[in-house]
């Protein structure tokens, strides 16, 4: 008996970055969700740490960039250094969730700074 799953396979036209013609979109979404959760949580924690340390101005943003760089390295290590198996392009692993995380970082940074240093 031939089984075929409907709805989990998707055809994507090839572009310059990848050479996969089809991939399992449901697993791709799962992987993107994992990256998003990891980055958001670490942005919040990084914001609290930056507020406690008393960073102001540019130092805080440099701290955020360092934190996101370490997160990217950690995510690539989690993917066992073969992003081809889990994602269709490099940019997704490195850059997805960066700006959303920046908003959360600044929010919790100012929050922690106010609590620890001003009140």
Partner 1 sequence: MALGFAIGVFGVLILFHAAYSTIQYRGLLKITEEEFSGPPFNVVIELSLGLVLCMWAALTVPGKFLSIHPDSEENRIVSLPANLDFMIFNHRGKVFPVEMDLKLKQ
Positions touching partner 1 (CB under 8 A) are: 1-5, 8-9, 20-25, 27-28, 30-31, 33-34, 37-38, 41-42, 45-46, 48-49, 52-54, 70-71, 74-75, 78-79, 85-88, 112, 115-117
Least Å from the CB of residue 76 to partner 1: 11
Residues 6+ away with beta carbon under 8 Å from 94: 72
Nearer to partner 1, 49 or 102 (CB): 49
Nearer to partner 1, 38 or 61 (CB): 38
Nearer to partner 1, 16 or 119 (CB): 119
| Long-range pairs for 70-73: beta carbons < 8 A, 24 or more residues apart | 71/38, 71/39, 71/42
Question: Distance (Å, rounded) from C-alpha 105 to C-alpha 27?
Answer: 28
């Amino acid at each position: 008996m031939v089984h075929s799953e409907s709805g989990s396979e998707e055809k994507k036209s090839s572009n310059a970055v990848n050479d996969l013609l089809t991939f399992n979109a449901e697993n791709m979404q799962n992987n993107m969700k994992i990256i998003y959760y990891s980055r958001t949580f670490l942005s919040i924690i990084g914001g609290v740490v930056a507020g406690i340390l008393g960073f102001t101005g540019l130092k805080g943003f440099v701290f955020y960039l360092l934190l996101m760089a370490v997160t990217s390295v950690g995510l690539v290590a989690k993917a066992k250094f073969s992003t081809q198996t889990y994602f269709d392009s490099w940019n997704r692993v490195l850059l997805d969730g960066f700006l959303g995380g920046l908003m959360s970082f600044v929010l919790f940074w100012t929050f922690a700074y106010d609590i620890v240093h001003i009140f």
